[in-house]
Amino acid sequence: MTPNLALIGIQTSAKRGFRLWFPLFLLWIPVLLLAPLLFLALLIVCLGKRVNPWRAIAVCWAIVCSLPGTGIQVQTPKALIQVRVL
């Protein structure tokens, strides 16, 4: 299952903070349009590094499909930033 949404939350010490829903499924539109160029670039890089291109595509797809459930939290003295991929 590919990631569909990302929830980005920002809290500062002075303000209450806010959350922003970011629709990741909209990124698939330009990716599909650029797919031939991306595939060609991947093929050239894989041939230059002597890596099986089909294996590289499978690994990249496995990474993308494992993103849902990922949570990142960065805290500084002035702010807290949270990113969750749903």
Confidence band of 1 (pLDDT split at 50, 70, 90):
confident
Chain mean pLDDT for the chain: 91
**Residue partners of 77: CB distance under 8 A and separation at least 6:** 13
Q: Which sequence spans correspond to the domains of the chain? A: 5-85
> How many Cβ atoms sit within 10 Å of the Cβ of residue 53?
14
Residue of 86, 83, 56 whose CA lies nearest to 69:
86
> Model confidence at 47, in pLDDT bands (50, 70, 90)?
very high
Confidence bin at 3 (pLDDT 50/70/90): confident
Q: Note the pTM of the prediction, 2 decimals.
A: 0.73
